[in-house]
Every structure is written in C-alpha cells, then in structure tokens.
Amino acid sequence: MADRSILLQGGLVLTHSSSPDDHVIPLHDTDVLIVGNVISQIAKGIKAPSKDTETIDCRGKIVSPGFIDTHHHLWQTQLKGRHADEGLVAYMVSGNMVSYAYTSSDVYWGQLAGCLEAINCGTTLVLDHAHVVYTPEHANAAIAATADSGIRSIFAYSVALRMTEWSETGCVPSGELLPEWALSQLGRLVEQYNRNPQDHDATVEIGLGFDLWFLPKDMILGLLKELGSKGLRVVTTHVSRNALQGFHSVIQLLSSYDLLQPPYPPPGTYTGGGARLPFLLLSHCNGVEEEDLSVVASKGAPISSTPDTEAQMGMGWPVGQHRIFRKGEAKSTNVSLGADCHSNNPSSIVLQARALLQLARLEKNNRIIADGRFPREKVLGSSEAAYNLMTIRGARCLGLENEVGSIALGKKADIVVFDAEHSVGMLAAADHDPVTAIVRFSEAADIDTVIVNGTVRKRDGKIVDVGVSMPLDAERKTIMAWSDIAGEVRKSRKEIQARIDGLNLARGKDVMLSMFHVDESKLVDAS
C-alpha cells in the first residue's frame, strides 16, 4: 500500500486553521498528493512521484475532507421508505424490532448497501450503532459488509431487541438482554480489531452500542472495564428525555458512574490490561435539561445530533441548535452530526448539517418574534460552523481529530471531491464561497470522487465495484457492480417483507411499550 499514490491536481482545497475556531482556509489551484493511505503533500505544482501515480484532474472542483457521521444504523436498507409518515413509537416496531425478520444474509446486503449509500453522500467515517446482533452470524455478516464497503467505521456492536417468538398470534420477548455468546463474541472482536490500530489497511474499529443503564452499577462497570482492558475505546448510547423514554436523568447517572469524559484517540500500540474505561458518545439528548447539558459540556463528553429523525419523530428541538450555534458554547460542547436511520431519510451528512442550521435559526427567530420583536440583519450560526460539524468537529467527537476530519499533512486520506464546475445547484455559489456552496447548495450527485483510507470508493460520480464476501465461507471475494448489489438488496427486501407479513405488529407494539414501561395515556397523535 505504501507505494500506491494518488495526485489530486489543481483543485480548490479546503483546509482548516489551527486556531480554536477551526476557520476554513480555501487554497486555490492546489494539489494534494496521497501516498499509501496518508496525505503527504499539499502544494501547487506537485510532480507525480511515479508513472503509476493515479492523477485526478480537480480543476473546477472543490476538495474537501470526508464527512463524519457519528450516529447511524447502517443495516436498515431494506426498510427504506416505510417510516416517512411514522413517529418514534411506530418506528420502534417497524424499523427496530423487525430485525427479527432478517437472516444473516439479509444483514450483509442491507449493511453493505447502507455503507455504500453513505459513501455516495460523502461520508468517509461512521459510528455505526449496529443494533442488529441477533446471533453471532448476524454480527459477522454486518462486520464483513462494513469491511467490504471500504468505509471507515467504528462498528458499535449492539444486541438487538430480540424476540424468541413472533407470529400472527403472539410476540414473546427474550429474557436475555446480554447473552453470554454476545459478550464472548464482543470480547474476541475487540481484541481482533482493536489491538493494532496502526495497521495501515484497518478501517474498522469495534465499539459498543449500549442502552441498558437500568442494570446494576457493578455489572455495567465490570463489563466496561473488562472490555476496556481488551481495547474497547468507544461506547455509544441513546439519550432523550420525554414521555416515551422517561423523564429520569440518565446524565446524572452516567456522571455518578464517572463515565462522562472527553474522547481520546486509539493508543499508538496496544498494551493490554489496565486500559482506561471507554468514553461515551451520547446520541440525541433531546429534552435533556440545561443543567444536565451543562454537565455534559463540563465533562467534555461528545453528543451526536440527528435533526431529521429527531424533528419528525417527536423527540424535540435538536440539542445541537441549543449549543453549537450559541456564542461561547462551541468551545465547551462537543456536538457532531448523525444520519441515524437511512430507512427514514437520506444518509447525507450535508443534509443533516443544513437541517440543523435552519432549525437553530427557526428556534431563535421564534423566540424573538414571540417577544414582539423581529430579527434585524444577522441570523444565528454560519455555514462554516455547520461545515465543521461535518468534518473536524465530528472527528474530535470520536477522538480521531489527529487522524481525519481535515486535509492536513500526515492525516489519513479521507477526501471528498465536488464537481462544482458542472453542478447545477452549486453554480455561482461555489465562486462566492465554497463552504456555503457545499452546506447550502450541494447534492450527492455533485460528488465526483470519494477516497477512504487512500482508496477511491466513488469515481466519476459512481460507486466503484466492490469485492463481496457473501457467502462468508467463500474462498475468494466476488467483484460486483452497484447494480448487482442493488439487485441482491431488492431480492432480500421481498423475502424480509414476506416474513414481516406474518408478524403481528400490533402485538409487537404492545410488547415494546410494556418493556419500556410506557404510560400510554401520555401518547397522542400529532396529526
């Protein structure tokens, strides 16, 4: 890999200053040389180091660091479209519990397509809250698909909300929340994938998705300490405060356990026992009281905001708009962006940044108008602040700002190239301000090239062919075009739907509400 090189020639390269405000500095007519998986030069007039160097003409194009998605459920591809008019209660059954209808093969194709959709939208690093682990085979399939896609991933292993039986007549939940086979497999995976983080070809890190904070403190801390000693670095958890998910303060609980801490990077070398506890990334945090948000900020713990699903599914104003766009808060609160459910909305982190920025402005303007006043000239936030959520701040929330998140010497080559010259939507905007052009006017179709870890994963506006390892026991991978992968996903979707048709979804909803101890008198339709 060290001998392979790519030269991005003559583009408008977006770099970041070293100042605390992460100011974006555009470099016109600039080249970027990638050697192996690392950015080795940024300058004008770079000469190709060898005749085998791949040269990509970036004149008229914007060269950006890859986008970072800190909360996503990548397995859900076959469920796309069914949540468009659903709230969170319905989604919990139709988009979460129906993992019951997935075989390990279904997981592979759903995960692979989910990863490729993210790459197509410019995502190069994703924290995948993978709550699809029904069996060891389901986990193996999801990890294999992630690796095959080439995306950089923190695969947060998470046991599904499992049913032992679900049919037209009944639904029986499993009594095993943390089955022994899962704990055993997770430990092995952490050691296998996280022991050597400096492996140049490694793009997958194992994390943990965990929401079982009602379990005994000693059990939780014992588990995290053991996994931390094996190399587990990141734990992600859903946090919201409302009538469905409860009004108790999970933040105070996590703080009392000393689990809220700043993100930290992978170790240079693995040293085994005595490793620190993993850090927590909190997803959503809608409805969380200001006092608790201040605790999170003071501890430096990271948050992922997913404005599309949060706005639709009744979770409340995205926490990012409360914190990241207010003066003085950007330096004290680690907020990033996630796509959450691409079964409900597109994978594009650009669209999430755009939504968060506009929701922040709406909430602020509404408060001014409600007070009998009117906004003067300036509005809340900026396109640059939103862009930084997609890039360097996202990396910072994962403890990886020294690896990715900006275009800088020595960082991993995770890069997105926009064809601004031929874009319909970015026309004129790119000449005025390239950052605004991306945040406010770009589409996935404008992305010409995506490079992850020094490998081109999207070229000339199309996903490159993928080496597919399904079936998992195959001796060698089969190279497949996107159209063929899409065909497998369609076939899988039909088979999953046939199984879903045999499930009593109403009974499933009753079971879910009972498990979460929901007061149904508090549930109302918004229509």
pLDDT digits over 406-437, tens only? 999 999 999 999 999 999 999 999 999 999 99
Identify the three-state secondary structure at position 172. strand
Q: What's the average model confidence in pLDDT over 484-489?
A: 98
- Give percent of the chain above pLDDT 70: 94
- Cα–Cα distance for residue pair 129/158, rounded to 1 Å: 7
Whether the CB-CB separation of 64 and 448 falls below 8 Å is answered with: no
User: Residue 381: its pLDDT value, please?
Assistant: 87
Number of Cβ atoms within 10 Å of the Cβ of 67: 32
- Give percent of the chain above pLDDT 90: 84
Residue 473, exposed/middle/buried by CB under 10 A (0-12, 13-18, 19+)?
exposed
Q: What is the CA angle 273-275-281, rounded to 5?
A: 145
Rg (CA), the chain: 22
pLDDT bracket for residue 378 (50, 70, 90) = confident
**Where is average pLDDT lowest: 22-36, 171-185, 274-288, 390-404?**
274-288
User: Residue 3: its pLDDT value, please?
Assistant: 75
Q: What residue type is assigned to position 272 of the chain?
A: G
Asked if pLDDT for residue 482 goes beyond 90, the answer is: yes
User: Residue 270: its pLDDT value, please?
Assistant: 43
Q: What is the pLDDT of residues 165-210, one digit of tens each?
A: 999 999 999 999 999 999 999 999 999 999 876 655 679 999 999 9
Asked if pLDDT for residue 327 goes beyond 70, the answer is: no
User: Mind giving me the DSSP string for 223-243?
Assistant: HHHHHHHHT--EEEEEEE-BT
Cα dihedral value 400, 29, 116, 483, nearest 10: -170
User: Residue 328: its pLDDT value, please?
Assistant: 47
Question: What domains are defined for the chain?
Answer: 5-65+406-463 (2.30.40.10)
Identify the three-state secondary structure at position 430. helix
User: Residue 472: its pLDDT value, please?
Assistant: 85
- The structure tokens listed for 409 are 């010497």
- Cα–Cα distance for residue pair 186/287, rounded to 1 Å: 32
Cα-to-chain-centroid distance, residue 259: 21
Whether the CB-CB separation of 454 and 204 falls below 8 Å is answered with: no
Asked if pLDDT for residue 320 goes beyond 90, the answer is: no
Selected residue with higher pLDDT from 275 and 42:
42
Give this prediction's pTM.
0.96
| Strand duo 204-209 + 234-240: pairing | parallel
Selected residue with higher pLDDT from 197 and 231:
231
Asked if pLDDT for residue 121 goes beyond 60, the answer is: yes
User: Residue 329: its pLDDT value, please?
Assistant: 45
Q: What residue type is assigned to position 68 of the chain?
A: I
Three-state helix/strand/coil letters over 116-150: HHHHHCCEEEEEEEEEEECCHHHHHHHHHHHHHHC
User: Residue 198: its pLDDT value, please?
Assistant: 60
Whether the CB-CB separation of 504 and 166 falls below 8 Å is answered with: yes
Strand locations in 256-385 (E): 279-286, 302-305, 334-337
Q: Per-residue b/e over 163-199, b at no fewer than 16 CB within 10 Å?
A: beebeeeebebeeeeebeebeebbbebbbebbeebee
Identify the three-state secondary structure at position 26. strand
Whether the CB-CB separation of 434 and 26 falls below 8 Å is answered with: yes
Whether the CB-CB separation of 337 and 70 falls below 8 Å is answered with: yes
User: Residue 473: its pLDDT value, please?
Assistant: 81
Q: What is the pLDDT of residues 126-157, one digit of tens each?
A: 999 999 999 999 999 999 999 999 999 999 99
User: Residue 324: its pLDDT value, please?
Assistant: 60
User: Residue 325: its pLDDT value, please?
Assistant: 62
Asked if pLDDT for residue 81 goes beyond 60, the answer is: yes
User: Residue 197: its pLDDT value, please?
Assistant: 60
Q: What is the pLDDT of residues 435-472, one digit of tens each?
A: 999 999 999 999 999 999 999 999 999 999 999 999 88
Whether the CB-CB separation of 266 and 190 falls below 8 Å is answered with: no
Is residue 197 reached through a cis peptide bond, with omega within 30 degrees of 0 on the bond before it? Answer: no
* Site of tokens 């929901």: 518
Identify the three-state secondary structure at position 308. helix
Phi, psi of 8 (to 5 degrees): -90, 115
**Residue 418 φ/ψ region, left for φ over 0, alpha for ψ in the -120 to 50 degree band, beta for the rest:** beta
Q: Per-residue b/e over 210-230, b at no fewer than 16 CB within 10 Å?
A: bbeeeeeeeebeebbeebbbb
Q: What is the mean pLDDT of the chain?
A: 93
- The structure tokens listed for 466 are 């993928």
pLDDT bracket for residue 269 (50, 70, 90) = very low
